[in-house]
Amino acid sequence: MRHGVPTVAPVVIDERVDARLRGGSPAYRRFSLAMFLAGLATFALLYAPQPVLPRLGEEFHLSPVGASLTIAAATAALAVAVIPLASVSEVVGRKPVMLAGVTAAAALGVVAAVSPGFGWMLAARAVQGVALAGLPASAMAHVTEEVEPSATGRAMGLYIAGNSVGGMAGRLIVGGVTDLAGWRWGMASVGIFSLVCAAGFAYLLPRPVAFHPHPARPRALAAGVAGHLRSVPLLRLYVTAFALMGAMVTVYNYLGYRLAAPPFELPTVVIGLIFLCYLAGTVSSAVTGRLSDRYGRRPIATASALLAVAGAAVTLSGSLIAVIGGLVVFTAGFFGCHTAASGWIGHLASTARAQASAIYMLTYYLGSSVAGSAGGLAYAHAGWPGTVAFVAVLLLVATLAVQIRRRV
């Protein structure tokens, strides 16, 4: 109190937070496009071998489960490396980690394509997975930090949309080029395409304004991870991530085998076109991002997961048109649920967001590696009906897991 007049403590404004990107601004659009390109490159590289799994099986004398190891090697390595690299991003910044990761992974895509044997290819794919680990968790944390809260759902939706376009584009490129010049040229072309995306990402991404660097203290980082693992709401989202990605990879790994066999007997280039269904994910990611901002993440995630169950059931039909229609619905549901769940992480984790996101991505890609490969056993022993049943169980687990009774 001064001269009888009560004093008011000054309000301290963190200029870095105040400067966060506003939805619709030119900087926000540049940011969104940059993150879109990062997501595009990540999925294009990670799942590039999927359309040629039958070709790899023929050349290297592999079963469907054995051929699927080209996917599992990258996703398992990513899962192992994602927490350490997310922790590095807490110290040195998100942009350097993301840029180094996508550039190295693109170069390794070319290396994998020219590998002299299957063992060398698996090794290259594993190192590529480690490189890509610098992207997903850092990207999710970067969106939460740099964009104002009212627009994070839209920004995350566009990043996930980049995942879906990348998943589609990478597989279409591989499928088309493989029929013209062989699977090695097909996979190499994805690496070159991703290098172009990396250059665009580096040019477009604005300078970070809200990043708070943390000192390199392993004990503090370990404590942050332990804290996230004790959070029941976060644990349920981690279960959701595992189940969702396991279902997604199972469908896209083994549907190609079904379509190559009677009664469909489709050629590789036509099977590659099924990845156009990823466009449904592009749309649903952007739409559910906006809907999550407006109506909340729980109802949107739940509805999307149930939509994916319905789509998977429709693929049991003997009609090719119905199978493709079911795949469109399944893909839209998957990306919708993933968009809502991944955007939820940054709101539940008040500290060490990159680590919280990293654990989400760890379980996400463990689902790809473990459940995705287990889906091959279901296909081998029970055909496509058994595969769909396996997928439906995973999606129902995801549906139950998102029922977190806490308003966020």
| Alpha helices for 47-93 (secondary structure H) | 53-60, 64-67, 69-92
Q: Which residues span the domain enclosing 130? A: 24-204+215-401
d(CA 159, CA 52): 26
Contact at 8 Å (CB) between 186 and 111? no
Summarize the confidence of residues 5-21 as an average pLDDT.
48
67 Cβ neighbours under 8 A, 6+ residues apart: 53, 54, 56, 57, 60
What average pLDDT does this structure show over 350-367? 77
pLDDT confidence of residue 15 = 42
Residues 6 or more apart whose Cβ sits within 8 Å of residue 95: 142, 205, 208
% residues pLDDT > 70 (the chain): 87
The SS3 call for residue 234 is helix
Q: Assess if residue 387 is contained within a domain.
A: yes
Whole-angstrom distance, CA of residue 384 vs CA of residue 286: 31
Res 236: pLDDT: 87
Each residue of 17-73: pLDDT tens digit? 456 777 668 888 888 888 888 888 888 898 888 888 888 888 888 887 788 889 889
In a domain, 284, yes or no: yes
Nearest to 53 by CA among 189, 173, 191, 171: 171
| N-terminal to C-terminal alpha carbon distance within the chain | 39
In a domain, 291, yes or no: yes
pLDDT(78) > 50 = yes
Furthest-apart CA atoms within the chain: distance in Å: 92
Band of pLDDT at residue 215, cut at 50, 70 and 90:
low
Residue 367 lies in a domain: yes
19 domain-assigned: no
Q: Percentage of residues in the chain with pLDDT exceeding 90?
A: 26
Is residue 6 over pLDDT 60?
no
pLDDT band per the 50, 70, 90 thresholds, residue 256: confident
| Predicted local distance difference test score (pLDDT) of residue 378 | 92
Q: In this model, does residue 170 exceed pLDDT 90? A: no
Q: Give the start-end residues of each E strand in 101-202.
A: none
Given this model, what pLDDT does residue 16 score? 46
Contact 93, 144 (CB under 8 A): no
Q: Specify the number of domains making up the chain.
A: 1
How confident is the model at residue 405, as a pLDDT? 53
SS3 (DSSP) at 21: strand
Residue 287 pLDDT: 84
**Among the listed residues 398, 408, 397, 399, the one whose alpha carbon sits nearest the alpha carbon of residue 292:** 408
**Confidence category of residue 124, pLDDT binned at 50, 70, 90:** very high
Other Cβ atoms less than 10 A from the Cβ of 184: the count is 18
Of the pLDDT bands very low, low, confident and very high (cuts 50, 70, 90), residue 220 is low
Q: The tokens 């066999």 sit on which residue?
A: 261
The answer to whether residue 359 is domain-embedded is yes
pLDDT confidence tier of residue 7, bands split at 50, 70 and 90: very low
Greater confidence, 247 or 84?
A: 247
pLDDT recorded at residue 194: 92
- The pLDDT score that the predictor gives to residue 29 is 85
Classified as helix, coil or strand, 308 is helix
Axis crossing angle, helix 69-92 with helix 94-113, rounded to the nearest 10: 160
Confirm if 354 and 346 have CB atoms less than 8 A apart. no
Mean pLDDT, rounded, of the chain: 82
Q: What CATH number is attached to the domain comprising 32? A: 1.20.1250.20
Q: In the prediction, which pLDDT does 181 show? A: 86
Whole-number pLDDT of residue 351:
65
The reply to whether 128 falls in a domain is: yes
- Higher local confidence (pLDDT), 350 or 35: 35
Residue 8 within any structural domain of the chain:
no
